[in-house]
Amino acid sequence: MLALEGVKILDLSRVIPGTFCTMLLGDLGAEVLKIEAPATYELPGSSRTSDEASARKQAAYYAPNRNKKSIVVNLKSEAGQEIFHRLSRQADVIVEGFRPGVAKRLGMDYETINGLNPRIIYCSLSGYGQEGPYRHFPGHDINYISMAGILGLIGSGDGPPVIPLNLVADFAGAALYGALGIVAALVARNSTGQGQYVDVAYLDGAVSLMTWFACGYFLDGSVLKRGQSWLHGAYPYYGVYETKDGKYITIGCLEPHFWENLCRLLGKAEFIPYHSAFDHTFHRPEDQKWNEIRAFLAQTFLTRTRDEWFELLIDNDVPAGKVYAPDEVFSDPQVLHRQMVIEVEDPVLGKVRQVGLAPKLSATPGKVRSLSPLPGEHTDETLATLGYGREEIEGLRRDGVVC
């Protein structure tokens, strides 16, 4: 048994945060039907290509659409909307990422669908949410993390903010919070028997991730500044250092005993008293001794390779990490042991490697049951379950309602 087995999800997402959200739910057992538009623009990783063999291979390796089926429907047509309404009557969850107001114009907003299926859980992912003065503003991850105060804290204090990958607002703020909201609504429905609306904003999620960092501000007005605190690398006991082979190692000696382990390992017991204090949370070091310590560490780490340092540091109970290139991640023994690289069998391609499942459930573990489908691969099959006959399906196809 899978944790979300029997839960039927309609996936209307067009960009990766929604797609990743439904992938997470599909990995845990939900039955996800991806409803695609006839000519949807997709970001890199799309399986749309005129060469079916290439499309099949590309789809197989496009993990965000795994554990899903696919139909192609023109939702702007009345016939297409009727198909969606029929699907909605049988569904448990709908996930959409349109700008506010679009779903209503298409006749598939929460109020409409709730009238057809009061048990429906309807999740909308939008940049600024369904209400408020910014609700119609366009945006992307970089905009949301800048508005959340996150971007302004990334990077050194003597340069501009450093743009991270779109992991914060897109994947955490929207996808993860969306999945959490949906699962919470499913649990609530077990008690109430009623569905509900889940309004997830990328900005809200990004601001929520700032909860711990905002405590000082709400307490006494203290404001973090880029490159100024202990978690920004302002202090040498928590930072990144180049090694002999031109690679990098990280150390995270936030606790005094870890710092002491490092100092004794390096024969610098006199550095032990120089560890974190409360003012490190908000301010750069003022004592010149910190410059001496940083310079010493920088020179010392240049004497061995990254991997040599990692083994030595870990053997002496010092928190350390190798700064990996992406390809190195997927050969790391811990990553492999934790099954964060999996192989899924494809009848034509053989074994297909993908990133594994993060949550490890002891009784109902998740599973990749199928690789990504081609767009419209399950259109006929799905329409047949809704009561459409073969001639009706062909008529819909001729009219451009489905593909």
Q: Which of these is catalytic: 27, 141, 170, 204?
A: 170
Instruction: Give the angle 49-51-56 at the CA atoms, nearest 5°.
Output: 80
Using alpha carbons, list the distances in angstroms from residue 52 to 41, 375, 376. Answer: 18, 11, 13
Among the listed residues 140, 279, 307, 399, the single catalytic one is 140
CA dihedral 328, 334, 339, 343 (to 10 degrees): 30
Q: How buried is 316 (Cβ within 10 angstroms: 0-12 exposed, 13-18 middle, 19+ buried)?
A: middle
Q: Is 342 helix (H, G, I), strand (E, B) or coil?
A: strand
Q: Are 102 and 129 in contact (CB under 8 A)?
A: no
Encoding tokens for residue 6?
A: 């029997």
Cα 238 to the chain's mean position, in Å?
26
- E strand or H helix at 312, and its extent? helix 306-315
- Is residue 170 among the annotated active site residues? yes
d(CA 342, CA 339): 6
Contact 262, 313 (CB under 8 A): yes
Calculate the dihedral angle through the C-alpha atoms of 179, 181, 183, 184, rounding to the nearest 10 degrees.
160
d(CA 365, CA 368): 10
User: Count of alpha carbons within 13 Å of 275, Cβ hemisphere only?
Assistant: 16
Neighbouring residues of 355: CB distance < 8 A, sequence distance ≥ 6: 63, 340, 341, 342
Report d(CA 22, CA 200) in Å as an integer. Answer: 14
Comparing CA positions, the residue from 24, 19, 43 lying closest to residue 97 is 19
Q: How many CB atoms lie within 10 A of CB 292?
A: 13
**Annotated catalytic sites, by residue?**
140, 170
